[in-house]
Structure 1
């Protein structure tokens, strides 16, 4: 029998508008960075690694979905690339300060995207 939460999540993803999917990706990235930090603090290194990889996967997905005909896309590509390289470094060094740095960028991107969505609806 299927997990009801997973069924709900799958339904939400398949029926969402592109801008909502982007918001979900940003929120997921923040979540996995925070989980990675928490796992590192608790010395659960395998979980830390797993969550870090999930955040990296989200950044990869965000990079793939950029439409390079828009000028902002080049800037976002550079930002995502930087964040991903920092996550890789954090994973190798098990450095919570780097996770904190990338979390700050991820939160800022999430908040900016939410505000852009509000502005677009006006």
Structure 2
């Protein structure tokens, strides 16, 4: 996955979070593959990248969101701790546990983004209809 700086700047914070989740998952899956191949150097690199992504996700938490923000912080801290342990031990089971925790969050995030887009589309349509109706009576 490669994005230019210009393309990245055009993304919403929500879209960037979705991209980070995707990159995190890909790095974790690649690390499992490398461990299976006993390629521990590349597995280490992928797990370090995954750890960097988790830290970026944590830095982007909006604490005005309330309890969910605190829960996400705890979850990211848990994942970060498990990543260090998985990398030290080169343990596929730990990585798969992280993936099992990550996937529902990622799916929920993507679903929330999709639902939010749908709502926005309806709002925009309603505004356009109001404008069109007003314009018809204006003449």
Taking structure 2 as the reference length, what is the TM-score of the superposition?
Answer: 0.80
Alignment partners' CA distance in 2, 1:15 and 1:50:
29
Q: In the alignment, what sits opposite 1:26?
A: 21
- Which residue of structure 1 aligns with residue 134 of structure 2? none
Quick one: which of 78, 81, 84 aligns to 1:82?
78
Q: Work out which of the residue numbers 35, 38, 51 in structure 1 matches 2:33.
A: 38
Cα RMSD for the two superposed structures: 1.3
Change (3 A) 1:38 1:9: farther
2:58 matched residue in structure 1: 63
2: distance between equivalents of 1:12 and 1:90?
Answer: 33
Q: State the alpha-carbon separation in 1 of the partners of residues 32 and 4 from structure 2.
A: 24
Q: Which runs of 4+ in 1 moved over 4 A?
A: none
Question: In structure 1, what is the equivalent of residue 42 of structure 2?
Answer: 47
> 1:14 Cα shift?
2.0
Aligned to 1:108: 104
Query: Normalised by the size of structure 1, how large is the TM-score?
Result: 0.90
SS at match of 2:6: helix
- Aligned residue-pair number: 117
Q: Which protein shows a greater Rg?
A: 2
